[in-house]
Amino acid sequence: MTIMENPVRNGVDTATLFATLDAVRQAPAAAQFQFRARNHWISGTHSRTTIEDFFGVGEERAHEAPTVHDVDHPKVLVGGDHAPTPVEYLLHALAGCLTAGLVNIAAARGIELTEVSSTVAGDIDLNGILGLDPTVRNGFSGITVSFRVKGDAPAEELAGLVERSRARSAVYDSLVNPVPVTIEVEAG
Amino acid sequence: MTIMENPVRNGVDTATLFATLDAVRQAPAAAQFQFRARNHWISGTHSRTTIEDFFGVGEERAHEAPTVHDVDHPKVLVGGDHAPTPVEYLLHALAGCLTAGLVNIAAARGIELTEVSSTVAGDIDLNGILGLDPTVRNGFSGITVSFRVKGDAPAEELAGLVERSRARSAVYDSLVNPVPVTIEVEAG
């Protein structure tokens, strides 16, 4: 009888995680993914996105269930406030990406986490998007992420999880470095 | 008796929109906003964000109701698939931002819209975040937004709404141009 270490840590199945890494190392094309969001306008600044299908590991796939996400502007910005703003979803995406990475990395390093929480704050001068000051950019002037991480490792190792997650984060990279965006229109 | 044009078009209260622009023109500091997302880890790659408070027009504010947004990785990426991925929320943010701007601009230009829908597709090579190929970036290699816009204006004017919205979009700018991101950690 062999006593094996439990491969599930922090809710991460580390055996499957390492097996997946090995599989992609053998077949790098499996890592080509396309994610999609389908949005339709409702009224005013309020619209609704469905997220369901994606491409990955060589074939079309779908989430176990489609999900629906509303987006709007607050009333102080002449919206209906039916849902968060677009820029708040961007902050949410950043928090979710850094947190998922951090937890995977902790699992791989044998660290048991007891808490990971974060506040993401993004500063924006709306004189840009309102067209009132051409020297002001449209997007965030800066974003600050404040993490609180607890677990069974020294503080510096816990902080190292955040740093490693940052260095491997899809959303962090998509914000701090330029992403080419193409827009096509079928009108009329 | 004066017959006034209805100031609500496409669900946008254009009178309030123009009054808001005038107010910010007179007091530019009102346009300094900070948006926030508060996230906590649940298990594995699954975490949950609450969006509620923000700062704007000189004071602390809150949405009419807080909203809660889960985020996860799909099973093919060793997640629980309880919710969309972080990068899908980023695509959703882009769709919502471009659509809200487009509708506001149409209202200001006197164009009645009957349909605005879009599909946002983002390509990503996960060899980057998996650490398997140092030449591959972590984030999206490219994003394509495909709009369908219908309304009571010629096709070129409808297409012009998309172009103007792109030129004034907070999320578009935050993706195509670098945003400084600072990460702080309280660990242990």
Answering whether pTM is above 0.95, one says yes
Q: How far is CA B150 from CA A70, A128, B39, B107, in A?
A: 21, 27, 38, 13
Indicate the residue of B67, B116, B178 with minimum beta-carbon distance to A176: B178
Nearest-neighbour CA in chain A from B175: distance (Å): 6
Is the pLDDT score of B3 beyond 90? Answer: no
At residue A178's C-alpha, the angle toward residues A102 and B99, to 5°, is: 95
pLDDT of residue B7: 84
Residue B129 CA to residue B139 CA, distance in Å, equals: 8
pLDDT of residue B6: 64
Of B44, B126, B171, the CB nearest to A86: B171
What is the average per-residue pLDDT within B46-63? 98
Say if the Cβ atoms of A33 and B137 lie within 8 Å.
no
The whole-number pLDDT of residue A4 equals 52
Tell me the CA distances in angstroms from A6 to A9, A17, A110, B161, one per residue in order.
7, 13, 11, 56
Length in residues, chain A: 188
Tokens matching residue B151:
């309304």
Task: Give the per-residue pLDDT at A188.
Answer: 86
Tens digits of per-residue pLDDT, A54-113?
999 999 999 999 999 999 999 999 999 999 999 999 999 999 999 999 999 999 999 999
- Determine the residue of chain B that is closest to A56 in CA distance: B76
Chain B residues inside the 8 Å CB shell of A145: 181-184
Q: Which of A40, A53, A88 to mutate to test the interface with B (most CBs of B within 10 A)?
A: A88
Residues B49 and A117: their CA atoms lie apart, in Å, by 9
Q: Which residues pair with B34 in a beta bridge?
A: A123, B55
- Look up residue A153 and give its two tokens: 């490792």
| The two three-digit tokens of residue A81, written as one number | 């406030």
Q: Is the dihedral of CA A104, A110, A116, A121 positive or negative?
A: negative
Q: How far is B161 from chain A (nearest CA, A)?
A: 10
Structure tokens at B9: 């078009």
Q: Compute the mean pLDDT over every residue in chain A, rounded to the nearest whole number.
A: 96
Asked casually if ipTM beats, i.e. exceeds, 0.95, the reply is yes
Residues 6+ apart with CB under 8 A from B128: A168, A170, A173, B136, B137, B138, B139
Collect all residues of chain A within an 8 Å Cβ-Cβ radius of residue B66: none
- Encode B96-124: b = buried (16+ Cβ within 10 Å), e = exposed: bbbbbbbbbbbbbeebebeebbbbbbbeb
Length of chain B: 188
- Average pLDDT over every residue of A162-181: 98
Confidence of residue B1 (pLDDT cuts 50, 70, 90): very low
User: Is A75 in contact with B85 (Cβ distance < 8 A)?
Assistant: no
Q: Provide the mean pLDDT of chain B.
A: 96
Mean pLDDT of B155-168: 98
Residue type (1 letter), A52: E
Quick check: A158 and B185 CB within 8 A?
yes
**How far, in Å, CA of A40 to CA of A108, rounded?**
40
CA distances from A36 to B54, B89, B174 (A): 28, 9, 19
Burial grade of B22 (CB within 10 A; 0-12, 13-18, 19 or more): exposed
Q: What is the β-pairing status of strands B142-151 and B113-125? A: antiparallel
